[in-house]
Amino acid sequence: VAPLDEFGLIRAWTEGRHTREFLESAGVRLGVGDDAAVVGASSGLEWLLTMDTMVEEVHFLTGTMSEADVGYKALAANVSDIAAMGGIPKFALVSVCVPPEWTAPRMGLLFEGLYACAERYGIAVIGGDTTSAPRHLVVAVTMIGTVEAGKAIRRNGATPGQFVFLTGPTGLSAGGLHGLLERRQSGNDVKAGGGPLPPPRLLQAHRRPVPSVKAGRILLENGWATSLNDVSDGIASEAWEIAEASNVRLALKEAWLPLSGELVSYAGVCGVPPLNWVLYGGEDYVLLGTADRSCEAEMKSRFREEGIPLFIIGEVTAGGPGVDLETDAGKLKPVFKQGYNHFPKG
């Protein structure tokens, strides 16, 4: 394999992706190509900074996602972290560690997907790094967003009496991945025929997740959310983070959890209890948070106007950090502090 021509490849992947007008209006003084990018600082704003990494064989396998999906999702996961603070995503830096199997054309497709996500959310890709790697692709993305000074929505403001909300159904991404891995294990190539594919909506949820920037902005602008997380590691894990940061108990109601019909019927086909995916499945990128009862009516009405789902799924109670689920039968079950294990070893 010829040595990676780092500079040529970076140019091929990044040049001409943004117009000069877009970069200027975004405050980019200097983008890809020097030792560091330069951006302007605006008064009255604070910067949000986050970093999220995708590793081949851990977050995806050849066949579970196309090259473009990997690029799209690497950026989308970071957009979701900015959304979870109520911010606006602005800039991204992208580091790729490229093994021999990820040829230049394949990497080109990855960057196609990455820039498709950047364009959708108005993000300027302003720098990064490219190195070779012995095995398995790594895509590390840093995202910078803005937020009104002092207004970023944290995890530690939930107090007893407030309600727990969710901005969309969960478990879809985990269901989609489950199907892809089953097909793989049974020897059916994911791209070729053989064996039923998961419903398109579940595949789409896994491969092209939709971060909740608009929902985050509505929550911030109205000061509604007392805590907020994006569902990257599953409701259970995110609820635990809020419970611990706020030192409260989150009591979720099974009957109130949004269930996608497609998910339920596919879970039936697979013989998996859908609640496993709904509670412990990650990467749905909806928002989980808490808000005061006094805001409930106004919140519901505004989300309805915007066409964004809003589900009340439980309430905040006192009594030390914890999360439970009240089942449909009226029993209290503990919700475990665990996230989704993408690729369990056995």
Residues lying near a copy of itself in the complex (CB under 8 A) = 3, 29-30, 34-43, 45-55, 57-59, 81-82, 84-85, 87, 91, 93-95, 97, 126-129, 131-136, 138, 140, 142-145, 147, 149-150, 152, 154-155, 229-230, 245, 341
CB crowding 251-270: b at 16 or more within 10 Å, else e? bbbbebbbbbebbeebbeeb
Could you tell me the smallest distance in angstroms from the CB atom of residue 127 to a copy of itself? 6
Q: In this structure, how many other beta carbons lie within 10 angstroms of the beta carbon of residue 306?
A: 13
Q: With respect to a copy of itself, which residue has the nearer C-beta, 103 or 265?
A: 103
Comparison of 168 and 274: residue with beta carbon closer to a copy of itself: 168
Smallest gap from Cβ 34 to a copy of itself, in A, equals 6
Give min distance, CB of 318 to a copy of itself, in A.
23
What's the min distance (Å) between Cβ of 290 and a copy of itself? 15
Between CA 202 and CA 87 the distance in angstroms is 27
Residue 94 phi/psi, 5-degree rounding, is -130, 120
Nearer to a copy of itself, 154 or 184 (CB): 154
Closest distance of CB 237 from a copy of itself, Å = 9
- Exposed/middle/buried for 145, CB within 10 Å: 0-12, 13-18, 19+? buried
- Complex with a copy of itself: residue 32 or 275, whichever CB lies closer: 32
Give the CB-side neighbour count of residue 100, counting CA atoms within 13 A. Answer: 4
Residue closer to a copy of itself by CB (options 128, 274) is 128
Cα first-last separation, the chain:
34
The residue (of 80 and 260) whose beta carbon lies closer to a copy of itself is: 80
Q: Which of 128, 114, 144, 122 is nearest to 40 (CA)?
A: 144
Q: Is the dihedral of CA 187, 192, 193, 197 positive or negative?
A: positive
Nearer to a copy of itself, 59 or 178 (CB): 59
Distance CA 340, CA 301 (A): 33
Minimal distance in Å, beta carbon 218 to a copy of itself? Answer: 17
Q: How far apart are CA 79 and CA 77, in angstroms?
A: 6
Strand 249-253 versus strand 322-326 pairing type: parallel
Instruction: Provide, rounded to whole angstroms, the least separation between the CB of residue 284 and a copy of itself.
Output: 15
CA-based nearest residue to 90, from 42, 152, 26 = 26
